[in-house]
Amino acid sequence: MHALIAYPEKVQRHLLHTLLSYTDLAKRLTGLENAEPVIDKDPFGGLFAFSYTTLNDKMVYIYFRASTFGSPKTEYEQIREQASFMHRHPDAYYFALILREAWFEWPEGYVERRLGLPLRRLGYETLVPALEGLRLTQLPDSIRSEIQAYQRHLQKEYEGILHPVRLPELRLRQYAVLWHIRRAFMSRWASSENALIEWDIRTQPHVHSSHLDQVFLRQYPPHRLHMESYELSLFWELEREGLFLRVGLPPMREKIARAVHHHLRKQAQLCAAEYFALGRTRGTLKGIDTYHAREVNLLRIEVPELQQLIEMREAETFHVLSDEVAEDLAVAVGLLPEISKRVGGVSVSIR
């Protein structure tokens, strides 16, 4: 019997392939019935996880991921290969079944908004109900028992995400905390007439640690501003150490970059200090050169509630604190036009 955390992606692929092959799970997930019971596993060298033919002779391809998307191989190279395949086969149906860290990192709309791929997102909210009521009588007892254990595992995992105070696994709880903050922000921001802002939950590349400082929320899209002939981008990132304001600098000489950074930092501090307690900022402007764009820190806002949320076991207090952090995000994003205005109202020599 597997523990809650002991269903690696390879095992889940095997279990899902069994379910797709011996039940009507494919139709429940995609709404498209398979013409034959044969479900191909890892077609095209693993470019997708499963594929089958529908009653109208069209192909269905299902991509499956149940771990972090932090690896550049997964995030860029494989997605580029998938995009090329989809371009060559536009008449097929494409789905992305994503769980665990991937479920957080590919929120609703992320695929279309950031990747531009015709992948319909499927997650716990689709898979868990689809598994309910499946007829498993045709499976051997040993396999049926394992499938039922996997169903309970998914249900418990999803309930834990919705209620992080019950979630025993630290890494998923950290993702869930950021997801609840993001959801509280979106609910608050959507009720205003402000421009659309998303918060993407990301993981730093090649990170397998459970430390929160490697899992963060990033604002999208960034706020654009101009200083003479340069276009800059301002955006916030929420990490364990606080809420960081960062600037995206285009390729420029180091002398110019330092002048721009100093000016922006001063105006941002003047603006943000009216609302927040500012902390010390980590080292910046390392490796600035004429040929590469760089993202560097401007300031840090202390957010002590974030660590409290990770350790919180009381549901009502959890929601209060997550709402407070979401309010901080809303205020911070609202400062970006003011910072831009301050920057434009003060002269600076960048030549």
**Which pLDDT score is estimated for 229?**
82
Residue 14, domain member (yes or no):
yes
Domain total for the chain?
A: 2
Tokens of 92: 């097929």
Mean pLDDT of the chain: 86
Q: Is the dihedral of CA 47, 16, 206, 233 positive or negative?
A: positive
Nearest alpha-carbon partner for 90 in 58, 121, 55, 122 = 58
Confidence of residue 19 (pLDDT cuts 50, 70, 90): very high
Q: Are 207 and 312 in contact (CB under 8 A)?
A: no
Per-residue model confidence as pLDDT tens digits over 36-81: 888 999 999 889 999 999 999 999 999 999 887 655 555 667 788 8
Domain end (from 146, 162, 178): 162
Whether residues 188 and 334 fall in one domain: yes
Whether residues 155 and 229 fall in one domain: no
Distance of CA 195 to the CA centre of its chain: 20
Going through 250-345 in order, the beta strands assigned E by DSSP cover 278-279, 294-301
Whether residues 38 and 177 fall in one domain: no
Angle at 338 between CA 332 and CA 339, to 5 degrees: 80
Whether residues 149 and 227 fall in one domain: no
Whether residues 294 and 175 fall in one domain: yes
Per-residue model confidence as pLDDT tens digits over 288-322: 777 777 889 999 999 999 989 988 899 999 999 99
Confidence of residue 205 (pLDDT cuts 50, 70, 90): low
**Which pLDDT score is estimated for 188?**
85
Whether residues 145 and 189 fall in one domain: no
Matching residue, tokens 């459970």: 210
Q: Decide if pLDDT at 23 tops 60.
A: yes
For helices 315-344 and 170-190, angle between their N-to-C axes, nearest 10 degrees: 60
Residue 262, domain member (yes or no):
yes
CATH code of 62's domain: 3.40.1350
Distance of alpha carbon 181 from alpha carbon 165, whole angstroms = 14
**Which pLDDT score is estimated for 158?**
95
Confidence of residue 285 (pLDDT cuts 50, 70, 90): confident
Mean pLDDT (whole number) for 255-284: 87
Nearest alpha-carbon partner for 182 in 171, 190, 172, 192 = 190
Per-residue model confidence as pLDDT tens digits over 91-112: 999 999 999 988 998 887 777 7
What backbone phi and psi angles, to 5 degrees, belong to 125? Answer: -65, -20
**pTM (predicted TM-score):** 0.88
Per-residue model confidence as pLDDT tens digits over 109-153: 777 777 778 889 999 999 999 999 888 888 888 889 999 999 999
Whether residues 297 and 222 fall in one domain: yes
Domain that holds residue 235: 168-344
Tokens of 296: 């560097």
Contact partners, residue 211, CB within 8 Å, separation at least 6:
240
**What does each C-alpha distance from 213 to 137, 140, 177, 311 come to in angstroms?**
46, 45, 13, 15
Q: Are 281 and 251 in contact (CB under 8 A)?
A: no
**Which pLDDT score is estimated for 139?**
84
Nearest alpha-carbon partner for 62 in 85, 95, 38, 89 = 95
Distance of alpha carbon 116 from alpha carbon 122, whole angstroms = 16
Q: Are 339 and 247 in contact (CB under 8 A)?
A: no
Per-residue model confidence as pLDDT tens digits over 337-350: 999 988 875 555 55
Residue 3, domain member (yes or no):
no
Residue 336, domain member (yes or no):
yes
Whether residues 154 and 179 fall in one domain: no
Lateral strand order in the sheet of 120-122: 40-41, 50-53, 59-65, 93-98, 120-122
**Which pLDDT score is estimated for 213?**
56
Whether residues 141 and 184 fall in one domain: no
Per-residue model confidence as pLDDT tens digits over 207-250: 444 555 578 999 999 999 988 788 999 999 999 889 999 999 99
Three-state DSSP at 218 gives strand
Whether residues 84 and 145 fall in one domain: yes
